[in-house]
Amino acid sequence: MIDRMSCGLMPAKPHTVLRDAEGNLLYEEMLTRGGFSGAFSYLYHRYPTTAAVEVTESKRGHAIAAEDPRGRTPLKRRLYDTRKLPPAGMPFECRIPLLFNKDLTIYFACPAHTDDVYFSNGDGDELWFIEEGSARIESMCGWLPVTAGDYVWIPRSLIHRWHIDAASGGPLRMMCFEAHGGAMIPNDFRNPIGQLKMDAPYTHRDFVRPEGPIASLAKNGGVQDGPKELIVKKAGKFTRLLLERPPMDVVGWEGFVYPWAFAISKYQAKTGLVHLPPTIHSTFAGPGFLVCSFVPRITDTHPQAIPCPYPHSSVDCDEVILYVKGNFTSRRGVGPGAISLHPAGIAHGPHPGAYEGSIGSTRTDEVAVMVDTYLPLSPTVQAVNLEDTGYHDSWRSPAPSGAKS
Ligand SMILES: [Fe+2]
């Protein structure tokens, strides 16, 4: 929900008659949030959206998060190596849950194939971060190209599917935040009329929007070809709807609810006289969580500054970081694709030597995505299976064998 967009055909006044050249009535759909009080979009379909010929419980869908007690006890710092995951499957069903609480479920996915069904997630907005690869997302709002380094926002209950771009030279590797209460731009970044402020870390122009409409009024056809199957997720259950025709029949739409992409390289980082707290890197937020972006930047300007993060006990937050690229200032033995969990209740901070070693440095080339959650996160069995069990002990000096210095 960045700003208002419109494309394609629509009547001059909402909720009035719109016909094609043959006199066929087009069908309006309102995609509304917050009941009918939040952001919304008008979608104009060639056919009624209610045309399903079969509705059954689906045998297909992704794994649902369930706690593995080994993942939380004892309370210690954890590291998960997503590089152990081979590329396989389709985005709607290959994503694996790693960490979750009532506000957020964090998945990782390495899909190798295009979705062969359409998918709609009624359990939350999906905020993805693409670590590697590229794809196109087909939705009722149009086509959205996405690539490595992009955040991708897919609104709750938007019918879509991912097309894997085989020409990108590799499979997708990506993290997903399923935000049960929604994921959005922090209110502090907007002025009273909703425009992004000049001191926000991004501008309206930084967001890539879908190219639409997806369908046309062509006499024979015009509906985007695709599967007739739609898998809907709600309350952790999957339902299969067999539709009369592929659902991509939208010839025009207008509103604030549409998918978008934002490249982390466009994030405008801030530098201070001395080390600024992680919240200065705020990017997206939702009830119970805050996503932050760490990007290459000049570090602190005070001649005696210690650029490395200070050890800290953030007593109200669990902290999760996906390391993407660069030499992360405060960590050793941690490479791209690693995800750390530093739980509230115990302190965390730089690895031995990093704090002292950062003195005098003037810039960092790190790229990482962090999420802080205000409720504790539960690791799943899938996370436990990816865990580097020596991570907590890697704060002992010297570094454990195999760790990079
Ligand atoms: Fe931290």
346 within a domain of the structure (yes/no): yes
Q: Which of 42, 30, 81, 118 is nearest to 384 (CA)?
A: 81
- Residue 237, strand partner residues: 234
pLDDT in tens, the chain (405 residues): 899 999 999 999 999 999 998 899 999 999 999 999 999 999 999 999 888 899 999 999 999 999 999 999 999 999 999 999 999 999 999 999 999 999 999 999 999 999 999 999 999 999 999 999 999 999 999 999 999 999 999 999 999 999 997 676 668 999 999 999 999 999 999 999 999 999 999 999 999 999 999 999 887 678 889 999 999 999 999 999 999 999 999 999 999 999 999 999 999 999 999 999 999 999 999 999 999 999 999 999 999 999 888 888 989 999 999 999 987 766 777 889 999 999 999 999 888 888 888 899 899 999 999 999 999 999 999 999 999 999 999 888 655 443 333
Question: What is the predicted pLDDT for the residue at 329?
Answer: 66
367 within a domain of the structure (yes/no): yes
309 within a domain of the structure (yes/no): yes
- Gap from CA of 85 to ligand 1 centroid (Å): 26
pTM here? 0.95
Question: What is the predicted pLDDT for the residue at 168?
Answer: 65
- Gap from CA of 161 to ligand 1 centroid (Å): 35
* Tally of structural domains, the chain: 1
207 within a domain of the structure (yes/no): no
- Gap from CA of 372 to ligand 1 centroid (Å): 9
- Residue 135, strand partner residues: 146, 164
- Gap from CA of 323 to ligand 1 centroid (Å): 13
pLDDT digits over 269-293, tens only? 999 999 999 999 999 999 999 999 9
Structure tokens at 28: 């309006």
210: left (phi over 0), alpha (psi -120 to 50) or beta: beta
- Gap from CA of 82 to ligand 1 centroid (Å): 20
Question: What is the predicted pLDDT for the residue at 85?
Answer: 97
Cα–Cα distance for residue pair 42/119, rounded to 1 Å: 20
- Gap from CA of 318 to ligand 1 centroid (Å): 9
- Gap from CA of 271 to ligand 1 centroid (Å): 17
- Gap from CA of 63 to ligand 1 centroid (Å): 29
- Gap from CA of 319 to ligand 1 centroid (Å): 6
- Gap from CA of 314 to ligand 1 centroid (Å): 7
4 within a domain of the structure (yes/no): no
- C-alpha of 78 from chain center: 22
224 within a domain of the structure (yes/no): no
Phi, psi of 297 (to 5 degrees): -165, 165
- Gap from CA of 312 to ligand 1 centroid (Å): 6
Q: Which residues surround ligand 1, an ion (CB under 5 A)?
A: 319
Segments forming the whole domain that contains residue 296: 268-395
CATH number at residue 378: 2.60.120.10
281 within a domain of the structure (yes/no): yes
- Which residue has tokens 């045998």? 59
- Gap from CA of 311 to ligand 1 centroid (Å): 8
Cα–Cα distance for residue pair 364/360, rounded to 1 Å: 12
- Gap from CA of 367 to ligand 1 centroid (Å): 15
218 within a domain of the structure (yes/no): no
Residues counted in the chain = 405
- Gap from CA of 133 to ligand 1 centroid (Å): 28
The set of residues, in sequence order, having a beta carbon less than 8 Å from that of 46 and lying 6+ positions away, is 20, 24, 26, 27, 215, 217, 222, 223, 249, 251
- Gap from CA of 173 to ligand 1 centroid (Å): 24
- Gap from CA of 347 to ligand 1 centroid (Å): 9
Q: Give just the sign of the alpha carbon dihedral 59, 63, 232, 117.
A: negative
Q: From the CB of residue 365, how many other CB atoms can be counted at a distance below 10 Å?
A: 12
Q: Which of 33, 36, 45, 10 is nearest to 256 (CA)?
A: 33
Q: From the CB of residue 70, how many other CB atoms can be counted at a distance below 10 Å?
A: 12
C-alpha distances out from residue 104 to 22, 184, 364, 372, Å: 47, 13, 30, 11
Cα–Cα distance for residue pair 4/255, rounded to 1 Å: 5
